[in-house]
Amino acid sequence: MAQTLKLGCVDRNSPPDEWGPYFSRFHEYAMGGQQKFRGEKDDEWIRPRTLPGGEVRKLQTLLRALGFYPIGDVDGVFGYRTLSSVRLFQEYVRSIEGEQDIGIPDGVVGPKTRAHLDRWQTGGLRSLWQTISYDRPSAEHQYWLKALSLFQGANIRKLASRIVELVNAYSGASDTAKVADWRFDPKDIHLIGIRRQEWRSTQERKNDDLFVLLVNGMAFSFYGSTDPNPSMSKRPDEPYLVRGQHRYRFGWHKLDNLSRVYRALRPRSSGVLVSRDFTRDDALTDEDLAGGLSANTTINIHWSGSGTTNWSAGCQVIAGARYANVQSTLVNCRGFAAVSYGDLPARTRGAYNVLLDLMTVFVPSIDVRNGSTVYYTVMYERDLAIEINPGRTLVAESLEAVPGLSAIQREELKQSISVGSLAAKLV
C-alpha cells in the first residue's frame, strides 16, 4: 500500500544540506529559527520525516502535469507550496467535479486523494485552469484589471477623495503607493478589497465586504471585512486601511502566539497607511482625516473564521464559509469551515485556504523576505459608479473594454461582477 504523504514528508536523498537556511526562507524571524513545518492545530510543529523512495517527487511531478503545481520546485520536500497544491486539487475535485468522496481539502494524500490522482493520470484529465493564463485571461479578469486601471486614471485626473490626497502627500516610507505608482501588470497577483458602507457607525462591523482575487488570468471572489471591528481593537481609535494600492508579501499572522501562528500576507516592509477613528464614532469619516495618516506594519490579510465574527482589529480578513470560483459559481465550504482555532484540524480554514493556496501555487516566490509582491487595492463600492466619460460609469467602460463577447455573454459578465450580485451570493 502506498504511503500517506503530507506536510513534512521528504524523499530519501532529497533533504537540503541544512534545514536552517531552508526554513529561514519561509519563516519569520519572530518564529525563533523553528526548523519544523507549522501544522494546522494548536502548537503543531512537524519535524521533516524522510521516506524511502521518491514518492514526493512523483506527486509534485504529477500535480505539475495536472495544472496544480505550475511553478514549485520538484525537490522531494512536501513543503508549504506542495501542501497548497494538494489542497487545491482536492478542492477542485470536490467543488468542480462534484466528487464529494474525496473528503475535505486537508492537504493529506491518503487513499481517497491518491485514487483521484490515479483517475486523473489514467484518464489524461487536466485542470480547466490550464486553458487560462495571464496572456489568455478570463473575461472577469480582464474586467477587473480594466476597472483598476480606470480607477487609477480617474484619480490621476482628479483625486477621488481627501484620503487619496493625503496618501499622495505622505512623505514618509510606506508600502502604500501614490496614485501614479499603482501597478496593474496581469502577470502579478492582485487582490481587490471592495469596502461597503464605510461611513456607517456601528460597534460591531460585520464581514460584509467583498474581495476579488486576480491570479494567472482567473478571478475568484470572497467575502470578509476591510474594516476593523471596534470590539477587537485594543484602543478606541481603531485603524482603517486607506483607499488605494498597497504592497504585501507572504508571511505569517499571529506571531505573538506561536501556538496559533498561520500563513497570511503582511505589509511588504515599512507598513501600510491607515487613518484612525479619531472621532471615536466607529466609522471612517472625513473628520477622522484631521489626524493625518500613519504607517502600520501589523495590518495583515488573514482568516476571519467561518465568517460569523469579524476578527479584525484593523487587518483585512477573509471569511471561510464560501467563495465564488473561476466559473462564477458559488462554492459552499460551510460544512468543513472552522469557526475558530479549536475546530482545527478536523475542519479547515475553508475559503481562506483557497485564496491563500491560489496565491501560493501561482506566485514566483513565497519567501518571506525576498519573495514576490501581492498588490492589494482597496476601493469603495461607490468608486465603481465614478463617471469616466459623460454618462459612462467605471463599470460600463470596463465592461465595454472586454473584447469578443456576444450580447448574452456581456450581460452574464455584468451579472457576475456586480457588487450587488456578489454580495447577495456571498455575504
Pair 148, 276 in one domain: yes
Task: Quote the percentage of the chain above a pLDDT of 90.
Answer: 87
Pair 127, 144 in one domain: no
Does the pLDDT value for residue 160 go beyond 70? no
68 contacts: CB under 8 Å, gap ≥ 6: 85, 86, 88, 89, 92, 127, 129, 361
pLDDT of residue 131: 93
pLDDT of residue 1: 53
> Considering the domain boundaries, does residue 3 fall inside one?
no
Pair 185, 295 in one domain: yes
Pair 92, 167 in one domain: no
Q: What is the Cα–Cα distance from 400 to 394, expressed in whole angstroms?
A: 10
pLDDT, one tens digit per residue, over 350-404 is 999 999 999 999 999 999 999 999 999 999 999 999 999 888 999 999 999 999 9
Q: Are 186 and 141 in contact (CB under 8 A)?
A: yes
Does the pLDDT value for residue 334 go beyond 90? yes
pLDDT, one tens digit per residue, over 44-61 is 999 999 999 999 999 999
Pair 167, 79 in one domain: no
Pair 76, 157 in one domain: no
Pair 125, 160 in one domain: no
pLDDT of residue 318: 98
pLDDT, one tens digit per residue, over 99-136 is 999 999 999 999 999 999 999 999 999 999 999 999 99
Pair 102, 207 in one domain: no
pLDDT, one tens digit per residue, over 166-188 is 999 999 999 999 999 999 999 99
| Maximal CA-CA distance, the chain | 68
Task: Quote the percentage of the chain above a pLDDT of 70.
Answer: 99
pLDDT, one tens digit per residue, over 193-203 is 999 987 677 77
> Considering the domain boundaries, does residue 1 fall inside one?
no
Q: What is the Cα–Cα distance from 182 to 266, expressed in whole angstroms?
A: 18
pLDDT of residue 380: 94
pLDDT of residue 161: 78
- Domain, as residue range, for 386: 139-426
- Which of 90, 115, 131 terminates a domain? The answer is 131
Pair 84, 148 in one domain: no
Q: What is the Cα–Cα distance from 210 to 26, expressed in whole angstroms?
A: 29
- Which of 131, 160, 180 terminates a domain? The answer is 131
CATH code assigned at 87? 1.10.101.10
